Structure 1
């Protein structure tokens, strides 16, 4: 159940990124992909981190039946980064829903 709910949220995030024109056809550089900074914020924008790092890693965990993170806080970062763009509020809301889903006691 948790996997399917998480997968649904990931699909919503991808759709909202695409609808906002933030889905990229260009993969970030190898250096950016290897960033160890939270959200790779030193080398890529948050939307690229979501698309190229977060969503694929979460999908890999789901596909492998591995445990999903139980402490996650993406929405506060999204709120900080996109606070001046009210059009992204639906995306921030879905990220918050994902945070709450994964942070629920299991």
Structure 2
């Protein structure tokens, strides 16, 4: 499996886990939440919202070949901090870390 295929599979695993753990049910942020939202939307929205409404669409564009893959990813590292102690998000954190790992080499 080449890197693009690995990234596509990792992305599908993230979306599936978001649906399994309930993160997919995050409500849409208000339109103004997208202005000056900061890294991972930290200033204006919950991580679940950022994942569904910012991360997923951006990665889908990469999967579809509409934009290049970024050179790095640290979404898993951020999720470790954000979801610390949230056992219901442990598998999602693992999936996000697997995604990050694909950018390391």
Q: TM-score, normalised by structure 1?
A: 0.85
Map Cα deviations across residues 4-24 of structure 1 (whole Å, 9 max, x no partner). 221211121111111111213
Q: Which runs of 5+ in 2 are unaligned?
A: none
How far, CA to CA, are the matches of 1:77 and 1:89 in structure 2?
A: 13
Corresponding position: 1:52 with 2:53: yes
Q: Which runs of 4+ in 1 moved over 3 A?
A: none
How far, CA to CA, are the matches of 1:61 and 1:33 in structure 2?
A: 20
How far, CA to CA, are the matches of 1:31 and 1:15 in structure 2?
A: 28
Q: Which runs of 5+ in 1 are unaligned?
A: none
Query: Secondary structure of 2:25's match?
Result: coil
How far, CA to CA, are the matches of 2:35 and 2:12 in structure 1?
A: 24
Corresponding position: 1:9 with 2:10: yes
User: Which residue in 2 is equivalent to 1:76?
Assistant: 77
User: Which residue in 1 is equivalent to 2:98?
Assistant: 97
Q: How many residues align?
A: 104
Q: TM-score, normalised by structure 2?
A: 0.85
How far, CA to CA, are the matches of 1:48 and 1:84 in structure 2?
A: 19
CA shift, 1:100, in A, is 0.8
Asked if structure 2 preserves the Cα contact closer than 8 Å seen for 1:12 and 1:94, the reply is: yes
